[in-house]
Amino acid sequence: MLRCDVCGNEYDKMLVILQGDRRMTFDSFECAIEAMAPRCAQCGCRVIGHGIEAQDQIYCCAHCAQQAGASGVRDRAA
C-alpha cells in the first residue's frame, strides 16, 4: 500500500499528483496542499487557487502583488 509523502499514513484511496517530473502520493488534499501548494511571496499564506503570477513570483491576491511592487494587477474589474 502507498504511503502519504507528508504524514506517512497508509490509505487505500491515495491521491497521486504529478507536477512536471515530480510524482507524489498523499492520503488527503490537506497533505497535498502542504507539500505542493506555493506560498504567497508577500504574506506567506498558501496559494491554493490560481493566485497571481507577477515578477516571477506567485501571490495570493492582487493586493499582495501590488504591495510587492507589481503593477497592472487587480482583483476586480473597474
Binding residues for Zn ion (CB under 5 A): 4, 6-7, 9, 27, 31, 40, 42-43, 60, 64
CB of 58 to Zn ion, least distance (A): 9
- Rounded to 10 degrees, the C-alpha dihedral 12/14/25/36 comes to -150
Supply the minimum distance, in Å, between the C-beta of residue 16 and Zn ion.
13
Nearer to Zn ion, 31 or 70 (CB): 31
Beta bridge mates, 10: 3
* Three-class DSSP category at 31: helix
**Shortest Å distance, C-beta 70 to Zn ion:** 12
Helix, strand, or coil (residue 60): coil
